[in-house]
Amino acid sequence: MTCPIGTDVSKAATILREGGLVAFATETVYGLGGNALDPTAVARIFEAKQRPEFDPLIVHFAERSWLHRLTMHIPSSARMLMDAFWPGPLTFVLPKAEIVPDLVTSGLPTVAVRMPAHPQAQELMRLADVPVAAPSANLFGRLSPTCAQHVAEQLSDRIDYILDGGPSTVGVESSVLQWNKDAAVLLRPGGLSVEDIEAVIGPVMIPSEADHPVAQSSPSPGMLPQHYAPQTPLFLQDAGSPLPEGSRLGLVCLQTPADTASSFACVEVLSPTGDLVEAATRFFAALRRLDACGLDAIVAHPLPETGLGRALNDRLRRATYQL
């Protein structure tokens, strides 16, 4: 049975309050939401997404008062960032309060919290009057959805309603920060650039790839090496590197490539002007289109490692076929 897609926010709020699952738009990507305080609803999220239970969820809310009910201690630099960027694409991992079910945090003593900026998401959460646990609304390990149709393709027979809020305007998941004593650590580069974060609180720690232990022992288990992946093998390569085997190759790159385009059956240019913000809005949809082209392989050219380029390169590295 496929679930309805619509714009009925009060219907969606009722479903959430009654323990059901609603996919909803945020400015980053679509989320697969359930009442964060209802362990049965949270269990249904893991089941629908086929997500391993060691990978904790972000709890979303529209009212700041929830922050104080869900978390214990808020470092002063976290507070400064909330004042500067909430509602927005920034998630804080903070010591959790008793009321947060262990399933939400996969047994960790911390909980990830975020106030999304999308007005429809805010209305939904205000009407539901519960905090909403929501991973990205895709099957585990696959590409994140940036429109209602993407959600329907993977989850419509597993959830109760898809609330259509149009295409996501940021296009890449939120940046995730945690605190180690007073030092902010970037667990996931995302929709708010490191430059913007550092302009408010000074330098943040950026763990290198090598510091990220795999799977269960990871500080942020969603940072698994293989993640955010299309079905087609993807190779991250500089322009001009030897191409992978295969007669039908696709290319995803920032700007129109000068000479290599003729080697490819399909080319996705993320931003003709080289604008990384525009590139982020097109990123996941471009990979989905390439994935649907029946290609032997997708080649991705790395983006500049600045602004949102850092988050997009991170997703490309995790989508690569051979590490």
Give residues in contact with ligand TXA (CB under 6 A). Answer: 26, 28-29, 31, 55-58, 89, 91, 93, 105, 108, 110-112, 114, 116, 134-136, 173-174, 176, 187-188, 219-223
When CB distances are held under 5 to 8 angstroms depending on the partner's kind, the choice from ligand TXA, Mg ion, none that residue 57 binds is ligand TXA
The residue (of 92 and 264) whose beta carbon lies closer to Mg ion is 92
**Cβ contacts of residue 271 below 8 Å, gap of 6+?**
254, 255, 278, 279, 282
Candidate list 35, 136, 174, 193; residue touching Mg ion; CB under 5 A: 136
The residue (of 116 and 250) whose beta carbon lies closer to ligand TXA is 116
When CB distances are held under 5 to 8 angstroms depending on the partner's kind, the choice from ligand TXA, Mg ion, none that residue 39 binds is none
CA 266 to chain CA mean position, Å: 26
Residue (of 209, 237, 235, 234) closest to 223 by Cα position: 209
Q: Which two tokens stand for residue 145?
A: 């959805």
When CB distances are held under 5 to 8 angstroms depending on the partner's kind, the choice from ligand TXA, Mg ion, none that residue 55 binds is ligand TXA
The residue (of 301 and 318) whose beta carbon lies closer to Mg ion is 318
Closest contact distance (angstroms) between CB of 160 and ligand TXA is: 17
Report if residue 154 touches Mg ion, rule: CB under 5 A.
Answer: no
Residue whose Cβ sits closest to ligand TXA: 222
Q: Which two tokens stand for residue 215?
A: 């799977």
The residue (of 57 and 186) whose beta carbon lies closer to ligand TXA is 57
Distance between CA 266 and CA 269 in Å, rounded?
Answer: 10
Total residues in contact with Mg ion, by rule CB under 5 A: 1
Distance between CA 74 and CA 135 in Å, rounded?
Answer: 23
Query: Does 145 sit behind a cis peptide bond, omega within 30 degrees of 0 on the bond before it?
Result: no
The DSSP H or E segment spanning 151 is helix 148-155
The residue (of 145 and 250) whose beta carbon lies closer to ligand TXA is 145
The residue (of 17 and 317) whose beta carbon lies closer to Mg ion is 317
Closest contact distance (angstroms) between CB of 70 and ligand TXA is: 11
Helix, coil or strand: residue 285: helix
Closest contact distance (angstroms) between CB of 183 and ligand TXA is: 15
- AA letter at 288: R
Residue whose Cβ sits closest to Mg ion: 136
Q: What is the DSSP string of 227-290?
A: -SB-SS-EEE--TTSPPPS-SSEEEEESS--SSGGGG-SEEEES-TT--HHHHHHHHHHHHHHH
Closest contact distance (angstroms) between CB of 72 and Mg ion is: 26
The DSSP H or E segment spanning 19 is none
- Please report, as ranges, the residues that interact with Mg ion according to CB under 5 A: 136
